[in-house]
Structure 1
Amino acid sequence: MSDGETPSDRLRDRAAGSRLKLWLLLDADRWLVTGLLLAVVFAVLLAAGMVAPDAAETLRTSDSVDTLFQALLTATITGVTLVLTLNQLVLSQELGAVGDQQERMMGAMEFREDVAARIDTPVSPARPSQFLRALVTVAGERAADLRQAVGESADAELREEVAELSDSLTENADRVAAGLDNAQFGAFDVVSSALDFNYSWKIFAARRIDERYGEALDSEASDALDELIAVLKLFGPAREHFKTLYFQWDLINLSRQILAVSVPALLVSAVMMAFFDPTAYPGTVFGIEWVVVLVAAATTLAVVPFVILLAYVMRIATVTKHTLSIGPFILRETDDVTEVEWDR
């Protein structure tokens, strides 16, 4: 397994697209993304008003303003209905009979006990960031144990592959652990750092070492490899669980924010339909007709709920796309994978 065969650990390096695009989709504050999108909407409307022939005259002599804001009013009401549907979706995950709740509780406790046993502590951490940090830190320690266990092996290729896996894993674990340190759940930092731990590739690499050199490993090295794989296998469901909780948290925040801005958006649309007279605003500002500026500004305010929804859904969809698989499956096109031999 040469360096050229090892994919990058960072999601931003593995994913297609520019760093700016991924920053906007993932890391940027959602209100900042909303503001940028609204600025684009306003600028495009102004540009269209400047370029279109007789745009101001068309607004004054036709019913286009009423038609536009009637459609926006209907869309806002539909958006609020969608928000209520999202809230019901989130609530449906929390509602259930006492037996179902007990089963969820027992499953969570059993998983925490499994993790505690693997990380050699009486009780596993309670905070999501520290829970994931403990797993990646112990994974790095198990990789170091494996490297030490095969240090005296006569098989140079085995030592080389284990050293490469160990170096990659410990470096990745240290970087992810630093990102998770003191990260607060609810912010994207926890999920963002967890996405940069390429556990699925490391499980594949460790199992491939077991397949190729299993018979050459002594008991100490074999146990160290099994322990490493076991810890990595626990990280997958832990990350997926916290990712799901984060999505629920984000959808709740999204619902509250859309409900908060929907009333002003409805009022803007209603005022433009009931009271706005395009003929009452002659003159220009910076060479642009006043009526064009006012209609563009009102339209931008009216689409705020939709733009907030777009900003949040972009991040949720991006994270979901890059975490569709759990375990050692690689869904994207890549030249970085050496296939396992299959003789049948």
Structure 2
Amino acid sequence: MVGKLLRKMASDWFLAGMLTAVLLAAAFPKFGAAGGAMHADVASDVGIFAVFFLHGLALSTRSLLAGLANVRLHLLVQALTFVVFPLLYIPFKFAFGGLIPEGLMLGFLYLCALPSTISSSVAMTAIAKGNVPAAIFNATLSSLLGIVLTPAIIGLAMEGGATGGLSLGQAMLNIATLLLLPFVLGQVARPMIGALAARHKKFINTFDKLVILMLVYSSFCDSTASGLWRDNGLGVIVLTLAGAAVFLAAALMISSRVSKWCGFSEEDRITAIFCGSKKTLASGVPMARLLFGAHPALGLIVLPIMFYHQLQLFVCSIMAGRFADRFNTVPHPAPDAGGLPEPLPARAGS
């Protein structure tokens, strides 16, 4: 299974696209940097607005409401995402703050504050035979709460509440305008053009990924121009990968143990594990652009979520397959065709 996943990742055009975007930004930073010929500020705003309009258009309100009833599970998942995960940052910073550059450490804080992802949380839950309606509800609720809670957590953790030149209030206004507003408009438009969007789901998913690649490119252009690669070497990549692995392992362990202590069914435990440990790249990169503005370390800030995204897909795919195997156990056949036990052999002399 591991070999199959590695081959799948090797053929993943989106992963290759992220690597290419970073390399292009290192080679041609002026084109995508602020004030460059790409007009990245305008292109980013238009792309982000379009992506979240399409997210609102694609979300089925009926599927969301189907998972509404399991309140204890919802409280656990949201607490894991927005309370436990941010608290993990405190011992992490205490242990590794002297080793990790300031911009990258801010990226780990941002990773901890992000909401869960929708698509992979639901997909992994479905593969593992978990509670899919509850996964849809929790992943969607997490994304909506993240519009408010993510900048609030960042503001509380950073002295003064400033995020790279933007006040916290201005950052939240930008997020509401370019994330929440188009999402609501998409939901409003769903009865009219939702069926059309469903027929072109593959195109929408591709467009979503292309916008993320554009945002990754423009973010790294700004950071390259500010000396990202001049001041940081290969060690930053190693530190980012190791840090992302630490957070993923901690999140999976805590979500698994706590959901078991709470006495949830196996299906609900699966939902808690996959929804409570995931972090969104699709919303994370656009939100970073809005939240941190022209922060000189923007490339470093988005680096942890880029690594975490790939790790969570790889590890959780393996876990989902193992959870699903519990339904693939073939029961032992009955002793004979009639379903009755075979007679005992007669003893000698009887």
Q: TM-score, normalised by structure 2?
A: 0.26
Larger C-alpha radius of gyration, 1 or 2?
1
